[in-house]
Structure 1
Amino acid sequence: MIFRFTVLFLFFSLSVFSQDKYIRHKISKGDNMSVLAKKYGVKTKDIAEANPDAPKILKLNSVLLIPNKNKAVTAKTAVIVSNSAPPATPGSHEVLAKETLWGISKKYNVSVEDLKKANPLLETEGLKIGQQITIPSNAIAETEKPAETSSAPTDVEVSREVQPKETKYAIAKEFGISVAELEKQNPAIKKKLNVGYVLTIRTSKEKADSLQALSQNSQIKDPVSSPEVAAENIVVKDSSTVIRVENSSDLIDRLIESATGNIGTRYRSGGTTKAGFDCSGLMICTFNNFDIRLPRSSIEQSRIGMKVSANEAQKGDLIFFKTNGRRHINHVGMVVEVADGEIKFVHSSTHGGVMISSTKEAYYGRNFSQVNRVLQ
Protein backbone atom coordinates (compact mmCIF):
# COMPACT_ATOMS: atom_id res chain seq x y z
CA MET A 1 0.00 0.00 0.00
CA ILE A 2 2.80 2.40 0.95
CA PHE A 3 4.68 1.43 -2.24
CA ARG A 4 1.62 2.19 -4.40
CA PHE A 5 1.16 5.60 -2.72
CA THR A 6 4.84 6.47 -3.29
CA VAL A 7 4.60 5.60 -7.01
CA LEU A 8 1.47 7.79 -7.44
CA PHE A 9 3.14 10.68 -5.60
CA LEU A 10 6.21 10.49 -7.85
CA PHE A 11 4.03 10.33 -11.01
CA PHE A 12 2.04 13.39 -9.90
CA SER A 13 5.23 15.34 -9.09
CA LEU A 14 6.70 14.52 -12.50
CA SER A 15 3.45 15.62 -14.22
CA VAL A 16 3.47 18.97 -12.42
CA PHE A 17 7.17 19.40 -13.22
CA SER A 18 6.51 18.55 -16.86
CA GLN A 19 3.61 21.06 -17.11
CA ASP A 20 5.80 23.62 -15.36
CA LYS A 21 8.65 23.08 -17.79
CA TYR A 22 6.66 22.88 -21.05
CA ILE A 23 3.70 24.51 -22.74
CA ARG A 24 1.43 22.18 -24.71
CA HIS A 25 0.64 23.69 -28.13
CA LYS A 26 -1.99 22.25 -30.48
CA ILE A 27 -0.88 22.51 -34.11
CA SER A 28 -3.10 24.70 -36.30
CA LYS A 29 -2.93 25.71 -39.96
CA GLY A 30 0.24 27.61 -40.85
CA ASP A 31 2.23 26.42 -37.83
CA ASN A 32 5.81 25.23 -38.21
CA MET A 33 8.88 25.07 -35.97
CA SER A 34 10.11 28.55 -36.94
CA VAL A 35 6.71 30.17 -36.42
CA LEU A 36 6.30 28.54 -33.01
CA ALA A 37 9.86 29.41 -31.96
CA LYS A 38 9.22 33.08 -32.78
CA LYS A 39 5.79 33.02 -31.13
CA TYR A 40 7.05 31.62 -27.81
CA GLY A 41 10.44 33.33 -27.82
CA VAL A 42 12.50 30.14 -27.90
CA LYS A 43 14.91 28.51 -30.34
CA THR A 44 13.82 26.02 -33.01
CA LYS A 45 16.47 23.65 -31.67
CA ASP A 46 14.85 23.72 -28.20
CA ILE A 47 11.44 22.71 -29.63
CA ALA A 48 13.04 19.90 -31.66
CA GLU A 49 14.86 18.54 -28.59
CA ALA A 50 11.62 18.63 -26.57
CA ASN A 51 9.85 16.67 -29.33
CA PRO A 52 12.37 14.15 -30.71
CA ASP A 53 9.67 12.07 -32.42
CA ALA A 54 7.92 15.00 -34.12
CA PRO A 55 7.77 14.69 -37.96
CA LYS A 56 9.33 17.38 -40.16
CA ILE A 57 5.88 18.33 -41.49
CA LEU A 58 3.67 18.94 -38.45
CA LYS A 59 0.24 17.34 -38.45
CA LEU A 60 -2.89 19.38 -37.74
CA ASN A 61 -4.29 19.00 -34.19
CA SER A 62 -1.19 17.18 -32.98
CA VAL A 63 0.43 18.48 -29.76
CA LEU A 64 3.97 19.82 -29.37
CA LEU A 65 5.77 20.59 -26.14
CA ILE A 66 7.20 24.11 -26.09
CA PRO A 67 10.01 24.81 -23.55
CA ASN A 68 8.67 27.19 -20.92
CA LYS A 69 11.81 29.07 -19.93
CA ASN A 70 9.90 31.77 -18.07
CA LYS A 71 6.40 30.68 -17.14
CA ALA A 72 4.72 33.99 -16.48
CA VAL A 73 6.49 36.07 -19.08
CA THR A 74 6.28 33.44 -21.82
CA ALA A 75 2.59 32.78 -21.24
CA LYS A 76 1.84 36.50 -21.25
CA THR A 77 3.88 36.97 -24.42
CA ALA A 78 2.03 34.12 -26.11
CA VAL A 79 -1.33 35.72 -25.33
CA ILE A 80 -0.19 39.11 -26.66
CA VAL A 81 1.15 37.58 -29.87
CA SER A 82 -1.95 35.51 -30.52
CA ASN A 83 -4.39 38.34 -29.76
CA SER A 84 -2.63 41.15 -31.58
CA ALA A 85 -4.13 42.06 -34.92
CA PRO A 86 -1.90 41.80 -37.96
CA PRO A 87 -0.51 45.16 -39.11
CA ALA A 88 -2.39 46.99 -41.80
CA THR A 89 -1.11 46.33 -45.29
CA PRO A 90 1.12 49.25 -46.24
CA GLY A 91 1.06 50.88 -49.67
CA SER A 92 -2.68 51.12 -50.32
CA HIS A 93 -5.29 53.90 -50.15
CA GLU A 94 -9.07 53.80 -50.36
CA VAL A 95 -10.46 56.58 -52.54
CA LEU A 96 -12.94 58.83 -50.74
CA ALA A 97 -15.62 61.11 -52.17
CA LYS A 98 -14.26 64.25 -53.88
CA GLU A 99 -10.65 63.01 -53.71
CA THR A 100 -8.37 63.67 -56.66
CA LEU A 101 -5.11 62.15 -57.85
CA TRP A 102 -3.40 65.44 -57.14
CA GLY A 103 -4.71 65.52 -53.56
CA ILE A 104 -3.69 61.90 -52.93
CA SER A 105 -0.23 62.51 -54.43
CA LYS A 106 0.33 65.44 -52.06
CA LYS A 107 -0.87 63.41 -49.06
CA TYR A 108 1.68 60.68 -49.72
CA ASN A 109 4.48 62.93 -51.05
CA VAL A 110 4.61 61.29 -54.46
CA SER A 111 3.99 62.59 -57.96
CA VAL A 112 0.81 61.98 -59.94
CA GLU A 113 2.96 60.20 -62.55
CA ASP A 114 4.21 57.70 -59.94
CA LEU A 115 0.63 56.98 -58.85
CA LYS A 116 -0.41 56.36 -62.46
CA LYS A 117 2.56 54.02 -63.00
CA ALA A 118 1.61 52.04 -59.89
CA ASN A 119 -2.05 51.94 -61.00
CA PRO A 120 -2.22 51.60 -64.84
CA LEU A 121 -6.04 51.43 -64.84
CA LEU A 122 -6.23 55.05 -63.66
CA GLU A 123 -5.28 56.19 -67.17
CA THR A 124 -8.40 54.65 -68.69
CA GLU A 125 -10.93 54.34 -65.85
CA GLY A 126 -9.99 57.22 -63.53
CA LEU A 127 -10.68 57.34 -59.78
CA LYS A 128 -13.74 55.67 -58.28
CA ILE A 129 -15.09 56.07 -54.75
CA GLY A 130 -14.11 53.07 -52.61
CA GLN A 131 -11.38 51.98 -55.05
CA GLN A 132 -8.18 50.64 -53.51
CA ILE A 133 -5.13 52.13 -55.22
CA THR A 134 -1.49 51.19 -54.73
CA ILE A 135 0.83 53.78 -53.20
CA PRO A 136 4.54 53.50 -54.17
CA SER A 137 6.51 51.94 -51.30
CA ASN A 138 8.72 55.00 -50.75
CA ALA A 139 5.69 57.16 -49.94
CA ILE A 140 4.83 58.14 -46.40
CA ALA A 141 1.45 59.66 -45.64
CA GLU A 142 1.71 62.89 -43.73
CA THR A 143 -0.93 61.66 -41.38
CA GLU A 144 1.22 58.60 -40.59
CA LYS A 145 4.42 60.47 -39.77
CA PRO A 146 5.55 59.64 -36.20
CA ALA A 147 4.86 62.39 -33.74
CA GLU A 148 7.89 64.21 -32.50
CA THR A 149 8.72 63.18 -28.98
CA SER A 150 9.27 66.40 -27.16
CA SER A 151 8.05 67.75 -23.87
CA ALA A 152 4.89 69.80 -24.22
CA PRO A 153 5.68 73.52 -23.87
CA THR A 154 3.85 75.63 -21.31
CA ASP A 155 1.28 77.85 -23.04
CA VAL A 156 0.68 81.45 -22.00
CA GLU A 157 -1.80 84.13 -23.13
CA VAL A 158 -0.40 87.21 -24.85
CA SER A 159 -2.29 90.43 -25.58
CA ARG A 160 -1.57 91.96 -28.99
CA GLU A 161 -3.02 95.22 -30.38
CA VAL A 162 -3.77 95.30 -34.11
CA GLN A 163 -1.76 97.99 -35.91
CA PRO A 164 -2.77 99.83 -39.12
CA LYS A 165 -2.35 97.79 -42.32
CA GLU A 166 -1.68 94.56 -40.41
CA THR A 167 -3.29 91.35 -41.56
CA LYS A 168 -4.42 88.15 -39.91
CA TYR A 169 -1.89 86.16 -41.92
CA ALA A 170 1.05 88.31 -40.73
CA ILE A 171 -0.03 88.19 -37.08
CA ALA A 172 -0.65 84.43 -37.19
CA LYS A 173 2.77 83.89 -38.71
CA GLU A 174 4.38 86.08 -36.02
CA PHE A 175 3.04 83.74 -33.33
CA GLY A 176 3.61 80.53 -35.30
CA ILE A 177 -0.07 79.61 -35.62
CA SER A 178 -2.54 79.35 -38.52
CA VAL A 179 -5.09 82.01 -39.49
CA ALA A 180 -7.83 79.52 -38.57
CA GLU A 181 -6.34 79.11 -35.07
CA LEU A 182 -6.05 82.90 -34.67
CA GLU A 183 -9.73 83.28 -35.57
CA LYS A 184 -10.69 80.43 -33.26
CA GLN A 185 -8.98 82.18 -30.35
CA ASN A 186 -10.51 85.54 -31.35
CA PRO A 187 -13.95 84.92 -32.95
CA ALA A 188 -14.63 88.69 -33.25
CA ILE A 189 -12.07 89.05 -36.07
CA LYS A 190 -13.57 86.40 -38.38
CA LYS A 191 -15.33 88.96 -40.56
CA LYS A 192 -13.00 91.92 -40.14
CA LEU A 193 -9.71 92.76 -38.42
CA ASN A 194 -10.17 96.19 -36.84
CA VAL A 195 -7.23 98.49 -36.08
CA GLY A 196 -6.78 98.89 -32.32
CA TYR A 197 -8.53 95.62 -31.48
CA VAL A 198 -6.67 93.77 -28.71
CA LEU A 199 -6.13 90.14 -29.59
CA THR A 200 -5.70 87.41 -27.01
CA ILE A 201 -3.30 84.84 -28.38
CA ARG A 202 -2.33 81.60 -26.68
CA THR A 203 1.21 80.57 -27.53
CA SER A 204 4.21 78.81 -25.97
CA LYS A 205 6.12 80.58 -23.19
CA GLU A 206 9.31 80.34 -25.26
CA LYS A 207 7.65 82.10 -28.22
CA ALA A 208 6.19 84.80 -25.98
CA ASP A 209 9.57 85.44 -24.33
CA SER A 210 11.37 85.66 -27.67
CA LEU A 211 8.79 88.14 -29.04
CA GLN A 212 9.09 90.26 -25.89
CA ALA A 213 12.88 90.30 -26.12
CA LEU A 214 12.68 91.25 -29.80
CA SER A 215 10.35 94.18 -29.08
CA GLN A 216 12.66 95.43 -26.34
CA ASN A 217 15.79 95.29 -28.47
CA SER A 218 14.39 96.86 -31.62
CA GLN A 219 11.80 99.39 -32.65
CA ILE A 220 8.46 98.13 -33.90
CA LYS A 221 8.59 97.63 -37.65
CA ASP A 222 6.60 99.98 -39.82
CA PRO A 223 3.68 97.73 -40.85
CA VAL A 224 3.49 99.41 -44.25
CA SER A 225 7.08 98.56 -45.17
CA SER A 226 7.33 95.23 -43.36
CA PRO A 227 7.82 92.36 -45.84
CA GLU A 228 5.83 90.06 -43.57
CA VAL A 229 2.60 91.98 -44.11
CA ALA A 230 0.39 90.59 -46.85
CA ALA A 231 -1.23 93.26 -49.04
CA GLU A 232 -4.71 94.31 -47.95
CA ASN A 233 -7.60 95.57 -50.08
CA ILE A 234 -5.57 95.36 -53.31
CA VAL A 235 -7.25 96.26 -56.56
CA VAL A 236 -4.32 96.96 -58.85
CA LYS A 237 -4.45 97.68 -62.56
CA ASP A 238 -0.70 98.18 -63.02
CA SER A 239 0.63 94.90 -64.44
CA SER A 240 4.09 95.63 -62.98
CA THR A 241 2.85 95.44 -59.40
CA VAL A 242 3.73 92.25 -57.51
CA ILE A 243 2.68 91.56 -53.92
CA ARG A 244 5.89 90.92 -51.97
CA VAL A 245 5.76 88.80 -48.81
CA GLU A 246 8.35 87.08 -46.66
CA ASN A 247 8.52 83.31 -47.19
CA SER A 248 6.13 83.47 -50.14
CA SER A 249 6.46 79.71 -50.70
CA ASP A 250 4.71 79.08 -47.38
CA LEU A 251 1.88 81.45 -48.30
CA ILE A 252 1.58 79.90 -51.78
CA ASP A 253 1.26 76.40 -50.28
CA ARG A 254 -1.50 77.69 -48.00
CA LEU A 255 -3.29 79.34 -50.94
CA ILE A 256 -3.18 76.09 -52.92
CA GLU A 257 -4.42 74.13 -49.90
CA SER A 258 -7.29 76.59 -49.48
CA ALA A 259 -8.27 76.50 -53.18
CA THR A 260 -8.07 72.71 -53.58
CA GLY A 261 -10.08 72.31 -50.39
CA ASN A 262 -13.07 73.43 -52.48
CA ILE A 263 -12.71 70.66 -55.09
CA GLY A 264 -16.16 69.28 -55.86
CA THR A 265 -18.00 72.54 -55.11
CA ARG A 266 -20.45 73.33 -57.91
CA TYR A 267 -20.09 76.14 -60.44
CA ARG A 268 -22.26 79.18 -59.79
CA SER A 269 -22.17 82.35 -61.91
CA GLY A 270 -21.13 85.27 -59.68
CA GLY A 271 -20.49 82.88 -56.76
CA THR A 272 -17.74 83.60 -54.23
CA THR A 273 -18.68 81.14 -51.45
CA LYS A 274 -18.85 77.40 -50.85
CA ALA A 275 -22.44 77.53 -52.09
CA GLY A 276 -20.86 77.84 -55.54
CA PHE A 277 -17.98 79.59 -57.32
CA ASP A 278 -17.33 81.04 -60.71
CA CYS A 279 -13.67 81.08 -61.82
CA SER A 280 -12.73 84.56 -60.56
CA GLY A 281 -14.90 84.07 -57.45
CA LEU A 282 -12.79 81.06 -56.44
CA MET A 283 -9.62 83.17 -56.73
CA ILE A 284 -11.19 86.03 -54.74
CA CYS A 285 -12.33 83.70 -51.93
CA THR A 286 -8.94 81.94 -51.79
CA PHE A 287 -6.87 85.14 -51.58
CA ASN A 288 -9.38 86.81 -49.22
CA ASN A 289 -8.63 84.06 -46.68
CA PHE A 290 -5.18 85.63 -46.39
CA ASP A 291 -6.32 89.29 -46.53
CA ILE A 292 -5.26 89.75 -50.16
CA ARG A 293 -7.98 91.46 -52.19
CA LEU A 294 -8.20 90.67 -55.89
CA PRO A 295 -10.36 92.44 -58.51
CA ARG A 296 -13.74 90.84 -59.23
CA SER A 297 -13.45 89.67 -62.84
CA SER A 298 -10.91 87.44 -64.58
CA ILE A 299 -9.98 90.16 -67.08
CA GLU A 300 -9.27 92.59 -64.22
CA GLN A 301 -7.24 89.92 -62.42
CA SER A 302 -5.19 89.46 -65.60
CA ARG A 303 -3.96 93.06 -65.20
CA ILE A 304 -2.33 92.60 -61.79
CA GLY A 305 1.03 91.08 -61.04
CA MET A 306 3.71 90.44 -63.65
CA LYS A 307 3.29 88.45 -66.85
CA VAL A 308 5.66 85.48 -67.19
CA SER A 309 6.05 82.93 -69.96
CA ALA A 310 4.42 79.52 -69.67
CA ASN A 311 7.91 78.00 -69.31
CA GLU A 312 8.50 80.16 -66.21
CA ALA A 313 5.16 79.34 -64.55
CA GLN A 314 5.32 78.44 -60.84
CA LYS A 315 2.92 77.27 -58.15
CA GLY A 316 0.67 80.12 -57.01
CA ASP A 317 0.70 81.96 -60.35
CA LEU A 318 -2.63 82.87 -61.95
CA ILE A 319 -3.27 81.31 -65.37
CA PHE A 320 -5.71 82.86 -67.85
CA PHE A 321 -7.68 81.62 -70.87
CA LYS A 322 -9.83 82.96 -73.71
CA THR A 323 -12.61 80.41 -74.07
CA ASN A 324 -15.67 79.99 -76.27
CA GLY A 325 -14.05 81.91 -79.12
CA ARG A 326 -13.80 85.12 -77.07
CA ARG A 327 -11.20 87.73 -77.99
CA HIS A 328 -10.61 88.76 -74.40
CA ILE A 329 -9.71 86.82 -71.23
CA ASN A 330 -12.75 85.26 -69.55
CA HIS A 331 -11.37 82.41 -67.43
CA VAL A 332 -8.79 82.12 -64.62
CA GLY A 333 -7.23 79.44 -62.43
CA MET A 334 -4.32 79.02 -60.01
CA VAL A 335 -1.23 76.96 -60.88
CA VAL A 336 -0.77 74.03 -58.46
CA GLU A 337 1.95 72.02 -60.22
CA VAL A 338 4.40 72.42 -63.10
CA ALA A 339 6.30 69.47 -64.58
CA ASP A 340 7.76 68.66 -68.00
CA GLY A 341 6.03 71.54 -69.75
CA GLU A 342 2.64 70.65 -68.24
CA ILE A 343 0.82 73.19 -66.05
CA LYS A 344 -1.84 71.89 -63.67
CA PHE A 345 -4.26 74.41 -62.22
CA VAL A 346 -7.24 74.54 -59.90
CA HIS A 347 -10.27 76.43 -61.22
CA SER A 348 -14.06 76.51 -61.25
CA SER A 349 -15.32 75.11 -64.54
CA THR A 350 -18.83 75.67 -65.86
CA HIS A 351 -19.24 71.94 -66.55
CA GLY A 352 -17.52 70.43 -63.52
CA GLY A 353 -17.28 72.98 -60.71
CA VAL A 354 -14.03 73.28 -58.76
CA MET A 355 -11.51 70.84 -60.18
CA ILE A 356 -7.90 70.44 -61.33
CA SER A 357 -7.16 70.56 -65.05
CA SER A 358 -4.06 70.60 -67.24
CA THR A 359 -2.71 72.56 -70.18
CA LYS A 360 -2.07 69.14 -71.77
CA GLU A 361 -5.82 68.88 -72.25
CA ALA A 362 -6.57 69.98 -75.79
CA TYR A 363 -9.27 72.47 -74.77
CA TYR A 364 -7.11 74.39 -72.31
CA GLY A 365 -3.95 74.10 -74.40
CA ARG A 366 -5.81 75.64 -77.34
CA ASN A 367 -7.37 78.48 -75.31
CA PHE A 368 -4.37 79.36 -73.08
CA SER A 369 -3.66 83.11 -72.93
CA GLN A 370 -1.11 84.08 -70.24
CA VAL A 371 0.38 83.48 -66.78
CA ASN A 372 0.67 86.24 -64.14
CA ARG A 373 2.83 86.18 -61.01
CA VAL A 374 1.08 88.03 -58.19
CA LEU A 375 3.23 86.87 -55.24
CA GLN A 376 6.97 87.05 -54.85
Structure 2
Amino acid sequence: MEGDYVLKKKLTAAVLGLTLMFSMGTSVFAQSSLNHVVNSTIGVSYKTGGTTTKGFDCSGFTRYVYQKLGVSIPRQSSAQFKIGTAVSKSNLRAGDLVFFNTTGAGVSHVGVYIGNGSFAHSSSSKGVTISKLSNSYFANRYIGAKRVMSTAKYKAAVYN
Protein backbone atom coordinates (compact mmCIF):
# COMPACT_ATOMS: atom_id res chain seq x y z
CA MET A 1 0.00 0.00 0.00
CA GLU A 2 2.79 2.43 0.90
CA GLY A 3 4.55 1.50 -2.35
CA ASP A 4 1.41 2.48 -4.27
CA TYR A 5 1.42 5.86 -2.53
CA VAL A 6 5.06 6.49 -3.44
CA LEU A 7 4.45 5.41 -7.04
CA LYS A 8 1.39 7.68 -7.27
CA LYS A 9 3.39 10.59 -5.85
CA LYS A 10 6.24 10.06 -8.33
CA LEU A 11 3.80 9.71 -11.23
CA THR A 12 2.03 12.93 -10.18
CA ALA A 13 5.37 14.75 -9.99
CA ALA A 14 6.34 13.50 -13.45
CA VAL A 15 3.01 14.54 -14.99
CA LEU A 16 3.19 17.98 -13.36
CA GLY A 17 6.78 18.37 -14.54
CA LEU A 18 5.86 17.49 -18.11
CA THR A 19 2.84 19.77 -17.97
CA LEU A 20 5.06 22.58 -16.77
CA MET A 21 7.66 21.87 -19.43
CA PHE A 22 5.14 21.83 -22.27
CA SER A 23 3.20 24.82 -20.94
CA MET A 24 6.42 26.82 -21.20
CA GLY A 25 6.43 26.35 -24.97
CA THR A 26 9.83 27.30 -26.33
CA SER A 27 10.87 29.02 -23.12
CA VAL A 28 14.46 28.46 -22.05
CA PHE A 29 13.06 27.74 -18.60
CA ALA A 30 12.10 24.24 -19.73
CA GLN A 31 15.77 23.20 -19.71
CA SER A 32 17.03 25.41 -16.88
CA SER A 33 18.60 24.76 -13.48
CA LEU A 34 15.60 26.49 -11.92
CA ASN A 35 13.27 24.12 -13.74
CA HIS A 36 15.30 21.12 -12.60
CA VAL A 37 15.20 22.18 -8.94
CA VAL A 38 11.47 22.97 -9.02
CA ASN A 39 10.55 19.78 -10.88
CA SER A 40 12.57 17.67 -8.45
CA THR A 41 10.39 18.94 -5.60
CA ILE A 42 6.91 18.76 -7.18
CA GLY A 43 4.69 16.66 -4.94
CA VAL A 44 6.86 16.94 -1.81
CA SER A 45 4.49 17.15 1.15
CA TYR A 46 3.82 20.30 3.14
CA LYS A 47 5.41 20.31 6.59
CA THR A 48 5.26 23.24 8.99
CA GLY A 49 8.83 24.41 9.49
CA GLY A 50 10.01 22.03 6.76
CA THR A 51 13.16 22.88 4.84
CA THR A 52 14.04 19.59 3.10
CA THR A 53 12.60 17.22 0.53
CA LYS A 54 11.05 15.33 3.46
CA GLY A 55 8.60 18.26 3.67
CA PHE A 56 8.54 22.01 3.04
CA ASP A 57 6.63 24.99 4.28
CA CYS A 58 6.46 27.86 1.79
CA SER A 59 9.56 29.76 2.87
CA GLY A 60 11.50 26.56 3.46
CA PHE A 61 10.74 25.66 -0.14
CA THR A 62 11.87 29.01 -1.56
CA ARG A 63 15.02 28.95 0.56
CA TYR A 64 15.77 25.40 -0.64
CA VAL A 65 15.33 26.39 -4.30
CA TYR A 66 17.58 29.41 -3.91
CA GLN A 67 20.23 27.44 -2.03
CA LYS A 68 20.33 24.93 -4.89
CA LEU A 69 20.90 27.89 -7.24
CA GLY A 70 23.70 29.26 -5.06
CA VAL A 71 21.77 32.13 -3.49
CA SER A 72 21.31 32.52 0.26
CA ILE A 73 18.02 34.01 1.48
CA PRO A 74 16.44 34.30 4.95
CA ARG A 75 14.31 31.50 6.37
CA GLN A 76 10.93 33.22 6.90
CA SER A 77 8.67 34.71 4.23
CA SER A 78 8.43 38.05 6.05
CA ALA A 79 12.25 38.28 6.13
CA GLN A 80 12.45 37.22 2.48
CA PHE A 81 10.07 40.09 1.63
CA LYS A 82 12.54 42.57 3.16
CA ILE A 83 15.38 41.70 0.77
CA GLY A 84 15.93 42.28 -2.93
CA THR A 85 14.38 44.82 -5.25
CA ALA A 86 10.64 45.27 -5.69
CA VAL A 87 9.37 44.15 -9.11
CA SER A 88 6.02 44.98 -10.68
CA LYS A 89 3.82 42.08 -11.68
CA SER A 90 4.22 43.07 -15.33
CA ASN A 91 8.03 42.80 -15.07
CA LEU A 92 8.29 39.43 -13.32
CA ARG A 93 10.94 37.03 -14.56
CA ALA A 94 11.62 33.42 -13.66
CA GLY A 95 13.25 33.20 -10.24
CA ASP A 96 11.56 36.23 -8.68
CA LEU A 97 9.92 35.68 -5.30
CA VAL A 98 6.17 36.35 -5.17
CA PHE A 99 4.44 37.16 -1.88
CA PHE A 100 0.91 36.83 -0.56
CA ASN A 101 -1.15 37.76 2.49
CA THR A 102 -3.10 34.57 3.20
CA THR A 103 -3.82 35.25 6.88
CA GLY A 104 -4.84 38.92 6.86
CA ALA A 105 -1.72 39.86 8.85
CA GLY A 106 0.80 40.78 6.14
CA VAL A 107 3.25 38.54 4.30
CA SER A 108 2.38 34.94 5.08
CA HIS A 109 3.07 32.99 1.88
CA VAL A 110 5.84 32.99 -0.74
CA GLY A 111 6.61 31.21 -3.97
CA VAL A 112 9.05 31.31 -6.88
CA TYR A 113 7.83 32.78 -10.15
CA ILE A 114 8.57 30.38 -13.03
CA GLY A 115 7.18 32.29 -16.00
CA ASN A 116 3.95 32.43 -18.01
CA GLY A 117 1.99 33.72 -15.03
CA SER A 118 2.84 30.68 -12.88
CA PHE A 119 4.70 30.17 -9.64
CA ALA A 120 5.95 27.19 -7.66
CA HIS A 121 5.18 27.03 -3.94
CA SER A 122 4.54 24.69 -1.06
CA SER A 123 0.82 24.66 -0.41
CA SER A 124 -0.46 23.48 2.94
CA SER A 125 -3.11 21.41 1.11
CA LYS A 126 -1.15 20.16 -1.93
CA GLY A 127 2.53 20.27 -1.01
CA VAL A 128 4.88 21.62 -3.67
CA THR A 129 2.80 22.55 -6.67
CA ILE A 130 2.48 25.04 -9.52
CA SER A 131 -0.26 27.68 -9.43
CA LYS A 132 -1.29 30.63 -11.59
CA LEU A 133 -0.99 34.16 -10.22
CA SER A 134 -4.36 34.76 -11.91
CA ASN A 135 -6.03 32.13 -9.69
CA SER A 136 -8.60 34.19 -7.77
CA TYR A 137 -7.34 32.98 -4.39
CA PHE A 138 -3.79 34.18 -5.10
CA ALA A 139 -4.76 37.22 -7.18
CA ASN A 140 -6.80 38.56 -4.26
CA ARG A 141 -3.94 38.00 -1.80
CA TYR A 142 -0.98 39.09 -3.90
CA ILE A 143 1.27 41.60 -2.11
CA GLY A 144 4.20 41.95 -4.46
CA ALA A 145 7.41 40.46 -5.80
CA LYS A 146 11.11 40.78 -5.12
CA ARG A 147 14.10 40.13 -7.33
CA VAL A 148 16.92 38.74 -5.22
CA MET A 149 19.15 37.11 -7.83
CA SER A 150 21.91 39.09 -9.47
CA THR A 151 21.87 39.17 -13.26
CA ALA A 152 24.72 36.64 -13.32
CA LYS A 153 22.87 34.23 -10.95
CA TYR A 154 19.68 34.71 -12.97
CA LYS A 155 21.43 33.81 -16.23
CA ALA A 156 23.03 30.77 -14.59
CA ALA A 157 19.69 29.61 -13.13
CA VAL A 158 17.50 30.20 -16.17
CA TYR A 159 19.84 29.64 -19.08
CA ASN A 160 21.68 26.55 -17.80
When the two structures are superposed, what TM-score results if normalisation uses the length of structure 2?
0.77
Structure number with higher relative contact order (C-alpha < 8 Å, ≥ 6 residues apart) = 2
1:99 is aligned to 2:9: no
Alignment of 1:129-148 (within 5 A): none
Change (3 A) 1:350 1:366: same
Aligned to 2:67: 288
Is the Cα–Cα contact under 8 Å of residues 13 and 39 in structure 2 kept in the other structure?
Answer: no
Shift of 1:255: 2.5
In structure 2, give the amino acid aligned to 1:303.
Answer: K
Aligned to 2:107: 329
Q: Once the two structures are superposed, what CA deviation does each residue of 1:329-359 show, in whole Å capped at 9, x if it has no partner?
A: 0110001112xxxx20000011111000111
Q: 120, 126, 133: which one pairs with 1:359?
A: 133
Query: Matched residue of 1:334: which SS?
Result: strand
Change (3 A) 1:274 1:355: same
For the aligned residue pairs, the C-alpha RMSD in angstroms reads 2.5
CA–CA separation in structure 1 for the residues paired with 2:118 and 2:19: 13
Shift of 1:264: 0.5
Higher helix share: 2
Query: Matched residue of 1:285: which SS?
Result: helix
Q: 82, 86, 93: which one pairs with 1:314?
A: 93
Query: Matched residue of 2:35: which SS?
Result: helix
Is the Cα–Cα contact under 8 Å of residues 83 and 148 in structure 2 kept in the other structure?
Answer: yes
Is the Cα–Cα contact under 8 Å of residues 259 and 282 in structure 1 kept in the other structure?
Answer: no
Which runs of no fewer than 5 residues in structure 1 stay unpaired? Answer: 1-95, 115-138, 140-248
Which runs of no fewer than 5 residues in structure 2 stay unpaired? Answer: 1-10, 152-160
Is the Cα–Cα contact under 8 Å of residues 260 and 346 in structure 1 kept in the other structure?
Answer: no
Is the Cα–Cα contact under 8 Å of residues 307 and 372 in structure 1 kept in the other structure?
Answer: yes
Aligned to 2:35: 256
CA–CA separation in structure 2 for the residues paired with 1:335 and 1:290: 14
1:111 is aligned to 2:26: no
In structure 2, give the amino acid aligned to 1:111.
Answer: S
Shift of 1:106: 5.3
In structure 1, give the amino acid aligned to 2:121.
Answer: H
CA–CA separation in structure 2 for the residues paired with 1:305 and 1:259: 21
Shift of 1:258: 0.4
Q: Once the two structures are superposed, what CA deviation does each residue of 1:167-213 show, in whole Å capped at 9, x if it has no partner?
A: xxxxxxxxxxxxxxxxxxxxxxxxxxxxxxxxxxxxxxxxxxxxxxx
CA–CA separation in structure 2 for the residues paired with 1:356 and 1:293: 23
CA–CA separation in structure 2 for the residues paired with 1:106 and 1:98: 10
The count of residues paired between Structure 1 and Structure 2 equals: 139
Shift of 1:259: 2.2
1:370 is aligned to 2:144: yes
Give aligned-pair identity as a percent: 34
Shift of 1:291: 3.1
